């Protein structure tokens, strides 16, 4: 095998190891994104595990989106949105996304996050309202919330990761 071939194989294998671990399933994706939020800021966004594009901003906050991704287990992560304060001491970063491609039930979420607390519920105004459950802060200091819409109450509709 040529030296160039060996280097290419080494680079491809190294690249796959890190990316694969984070993109294997929803739970690894959440864990990886939670860990990355701990160290990310507006100035270090290029170190994020996903490629984010600035979509809008105001005087206090930058709003970013990322392209949809497909995880190894077939789950598709859509509507990926990230919010950062322009000030280091400002609003905590917030990442939200919607899993699709398979129905993830509340029971499935509870197997991974057994200490969920009800944090939001529908008030009868729209079928887009959600019932949300939030886990205690994880080892990265982030809270993860899982939301189920009124129109599809049995399947996970969105996930929010935040230090708030």
Residues 60-113 have pLDDT tens digits of 999 999 999 999 999 999 999 999 888 777 778 899 999 999 999 999 999 999
How far is CA 161 from its chain centroid? Answer: 6
pLDDT of residue 123: 93
Mark 124-142 as b/e (b = at least 16 C-beta within 10 Å): eeeeebbbbbbbeebeeeb
Three-state SS at 4: helix
Which residues, including other chains, have CB under 8 Å from residue 96's CB and lie 6 or more apart?
79, 80, 81, 158, 159, 160, 161
Span 20-41, mean pLDDT? 82
Phi, psi of 74 (to 5 degrees): 95, -10
Three-state SS at 57: strand
Residues 138-156 have pLDDT tens digits of 887 889 999 999 999 999 9
How far is 132 from 159, CA to CA, in rounded Å?
Answer: 9
Q: What is the pTM of this model?
A: 0.82
pLDDT of residue 49: 85
How far is 59 from 45, CA to CA, in rounded Å?
Answer: 18
Binned at pLDDT 50, 70 and 90, residue 22 comes out as low
pLDDT of residue 70: 94
Residue 14 has pLDDT above 50, yes or no: no
Binned at pLDDT 50, 70 and 90, residue 15 comes out as very low
């Amino acid at each position: 095998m040529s030296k160039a071939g060996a280097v290419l194989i080494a680079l491809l294998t190294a690249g796959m190891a890190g990316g694969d671990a984070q993109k294997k399933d929803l739970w690894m994706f959440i864990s990886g994104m939670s860990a990355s939020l701990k160290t990310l800021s507006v100035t270090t966004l290029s170190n994020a595990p996903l490629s984010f594009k600035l979509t809008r901003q105001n005087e206090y906050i930058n709003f970013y989106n990322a392209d949809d991704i497909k995880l190894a287990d077939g789950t598709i992560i859509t509507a990926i949105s990230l919010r950062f304060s322009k000030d280091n001491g400002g609003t905590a970063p917030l990442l939200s996304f919607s899993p699709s491609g398979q129905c993830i039930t509340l029971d499935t979420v509870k197997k991974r996050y057994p200490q969920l607390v009800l944090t939001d519920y529908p008030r009868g105004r729209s079928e887009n309202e959600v019932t949300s459950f939030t886990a205690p802060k994880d080892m990265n200091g982030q809270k993860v919330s899982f939301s189920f819409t009124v129109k599809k109450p049995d399947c996970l509709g969105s996930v929010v990761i935040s230090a708030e």
